[in-house]
Amino acid sequence: MGQDLDELFDVVDDRDHVIGRASRGTVHAQGLRHRAVHVFVQNAAAEVFLHLRSLEKDTFPGKWNSSCAGHVESGHDYDQTVLRELEEELGFRPTQPPQRLLKLDAGAETGAEFVWVYRAAGEGPFSLNPREIQRGGWFTVSAIDRWTAQRPEEFASSFVFLWPQVRPHLTSAGTP
């Protein structure tokens, strides 16, 4: 079962204001601006959970990505979406609301997505949705630095763009 290409997304202008809506298939085929979230889950050891995308995904199948990520559905907002994605992809309900870290403007590097990036605290184990994720694992920040530098082709290109911007906002070992 692949992605639902008929799922509706809000189409937005260059200031992230809704100007219409279109299907996932249309948005991706025409490169229309839309909205998404990325979440970085960190454990008490300051490791980051990353996931390997399902081969059924319509973009970046079989590539490593943030803990979870997803599109903002039409009529929804970023904060609703981050909680939905954590539950849908990881089977995870955080005890505290995820923290907004930064917002990226829509561009070629983000696949025409305005992206709010969040951090959530969690320890797992997670219940990974096999339609979304092949597998996942915990990695130190320095291991992710080395991995993205040495083998960037193993990651979704948006992650390679996102990681250097997110990295300074993540906690260090021993920091809550």
Question: What CATH architecture is 38-101+118-169?
Answer: Alpha-Beta Complex (3.90)
Q: What confidence tier does 172 reach under pLDDT thresholds 50, 70, 90?
A: low
More confident call, 58 vs 151: 151
Q: Which two tokens stand for residue 19?
A: 């100007």
Q: Cα separation of 145 and 164, whole Å?
A: 8
Q: Cα separation of 140 and 45, whole Å?
A: 9
Q: Report which DSSP code applies to 5.
A: T
Q: Look at the alpha carbons of 25, 27, 30, 36 in this order and tell me if their dihedral is positive or negative.
A: negative
Mean pLDDT of the chain: 92
Q: Coil, helix or strand for 65?
A: strand
What digits encode the pLDDT tens for the residues 123-164? 989 999 999 999 999 999 999 999 999 999 999 988 999 999
Query: Half-sphere exposure of residue 29, counting CA atoms within 13 Å on the CB side?
Result: 7
Domain residue spans of the chain: 38-101+118-169
Instruction: Specify the residue for token string 């990974």.
Output: 128
Query: Percent of the chain having pLDDT more than 90?
Result: 81
Q: Cα separation of 167 and 96, whole Å?
A: 21
Is the whole-model pTM more than 0.85?
Answer: yes
Closest CA to 25 of 3, 56, 10: 3
